[in-house]
Amino acid sequence: MPILSSTLTCPHCGHRKTEAMPTDACQFFYRCTGCGTMLRPRQGDCCVFCSFGSTPCPPRQLGQ
Residue range 30-58: mean pLDDT, rounded: 96
Q: How many residues does the chain have?
A: 64
pLDDT at residue number 17: 98
Which domain does 51 fall in, by range? 5-61
- Sign of the Cα torsion 33, 35, 38, 42 reads negative
Q: Is pLDDT of 64 > 80?
A: no
Percent of the chain with pLDDT over 70: 98
Q: Specify the number of domains making up the chain.
A: 1
pLDDT band of residue 40 (cuts 50, 70, 90) is: very high
Scanning the chain, the segments in alpha helix (DSSP H) are 48-52, 58-61
pLDDT, tens digit, 9 for 90 and up, residues 15-29: 999 999 998 888 999
